[in-house]
Amino acid sequence: MNRRREDAQHIYNTGLAKVASAPEPEGQKFPNGSRVRIADGLGSAMSHFPSGLNATVKYTYAHAYGGDDVKSYCLDIDDHGEVSWYREYQLTAIVPEEAGNDVE
């Protein structure tokens, strides 16, 4: 593995350890583990991102890497896997009663 990849993997692993051991930052709208719906239209800058799907919140940028960005989310998207960074305004909470009726 090259040095740059090793450094990136270390930063990622450190972030995951922080998410596992530290409380969610103040101001995070969607708690880790909550279900959200990604907007159908994400704009041209994110046209290559999966949209219109349901996902589970993994963490915010601030939670994993520090700083104050609690509006950028890493998601585990149903049938796609982990994708970062979706903005808070692009997500809608899935109400638990609706969870059994996920539309994809």
Question: What confidence tier does 1 reach under pLDDT thresholds 50, 70, 90?
Answer: low
pTM over 0.75? The answer is yes
**Per-residue pLDDT at 102 exceeds 60:** no
Three-state SS at 54: strand
In a domain, 81, yes or no: yes
In a domain, 25, yes or no: yes
Residues 35-89: pLDDT tens digits? 999 999 999 999 999 999 999 999 999 999 999 999 999 999 999 999 999 999 9
Q: By residue range, what is the domain housing residue 71? A: 3-97
pLDDT at 95: 83
pLDDT at 101: 58
Find residue 82's DSSP bridge partners: 76
pLDDT at 97: 67
Instruction: Quote the tokens at residue 18.
Output: 């922080």
Instruction: Quote the tokens at residue 34.
Output: 């909550």
CATH of the domain at 65: 2.30.30.30
pLDDT at 96: 74
Contacts of 82 (CB under 8 A, 6+ apart): 58, 74, 75, 76
Three-state SS at 10: helix
In a domain, 41, yes or no: yes
pLDDT at 78: 96
Number of domains in the chain: 1
